[in-house]
Structure 1
Amino acid sequence: MSLATLQPPGWPQPKGYANGMAGRGRTVLIGGQIGWDAEGRFAEGFIGQVEQALRNILAVLAEAGGGPEHIGRLTWYVTDMAEYRDSLRALGPAYRAVMGRHFPAMTLVQVLALVEPEARVEIEATAIIPD
């Protein structure tokens, strides 16, 4: 069983995310991942950090036997909403390069700061791996 997208009738179709997801199986909770690699080196720029944070999520998820298709929710924390909006044109291709065409439920919020001063984005994930 895979995840099912939840789309109330008559609601506009979301672009790049889902309003909700449902599935059965083992729940995997992935703490916030930032845009640094295994050696603690930050990727260049906002888009580079997003790609690395997503790769980090997939690395943790792989430890549970899962892949991007098992992610039901992503929560994004950005330090600069204007930077996020200015990056939208490049963000779609960067997201798909890591996650494919899987678009889970998502939330995006701006925060004052993240724990690591160089971090521009932190993303946490909830996944459901079928039994």
Structure 2
Amino acid sequence: MTAAVSASHSLKAVTLVNTVLKPEGWPAQIGFVTQALQTFRNIHDVLASAGAKHLNRRTWYVTSIDDYLANPKGLGAGCRDVFARCFPAMATIEVVRRVERQAVVEIEPTAARPASDQPYCSGCME
């Protein structure tokens, strides 16, 4: 009988919590899509600096599901501009409020990087 071989040894997980836009000093009228787009850029920059090659999951914490659903084309275009055509597992959770009162979105990403230099997902962090 042959023992099963786990592929988990080939990945190093990079979990980043609170990679979020810091809205201090930003006018209150900056809306959901603008904050989400800045958060996408923040996530990309931090993951790229960590050598991550694939965005595995995003958990969104939003103050309004209605705001999240209001402009899917704007969110989709912004996400593609930053991450190309990468579609990780996602969850969206509506929260009552955030510590930074002007922040309407926080995205918690989980990414992985291969143990070798070979990317295993085309487009995510290329």
Give the TM-score, by structure 1 length.
0.72
- Higher normalized contact order (CA 8 Å, seq sep 6+, divided by chain length): 2
Relative to 1, partners in 2 of residues 1:23 and 1:76: Cα closer, same or farther, differing over 3 Å?
farther
Q: Select 1:90's aligned residue among 74, 88, 100.
A: 74
1:51 aligns with 2:37: yes
Aligned length: 106
Letter in 1 for 2:15: L
The residue aligned with 1:18 is none
> Any gaps of 5 or more consecutive residues in structure 1?
1-21
1:99 aligns with 2:71: no
Please list the CA deviations of residues 41-98 of structure 1 after superposition, one character each: whole Å capped at 9, or x if unmatched.
Answer: 548311110011111111221221124xx11010001001111111213211111111
Give the TM-score, by structure 2 length.
0.74
Q: Select 2:46's aligned residue among 53, 60, 71.
A: 60
CA distance in structure 1 between the partners assigned to 2:91 and 2:25 by the alignment: 26
The residue aligned with 1:4 is none
Q: Select 2:61's aligned residue among 77, 84, 90.
A: 77
Range that drifts further, 104-113 or 27-36: 27-36
Q: Secondary structure at the match of 1:28?
A: strand
State the identity %. 39
Q: What's the offset of the Cα at 1:118? A: 0.5
Q: Secondary structure at the match of 1:109?
A: strand
Larger radius of gyration: 2
Letter in 2 for 1:75: T
> Any gaps of 5 or more consecutive residues in structure 2?
1-7, 116-126
The residue aligned with 1:34 is 20
- The aligned runs of 1:3-18 (5 Å cut-off) are none
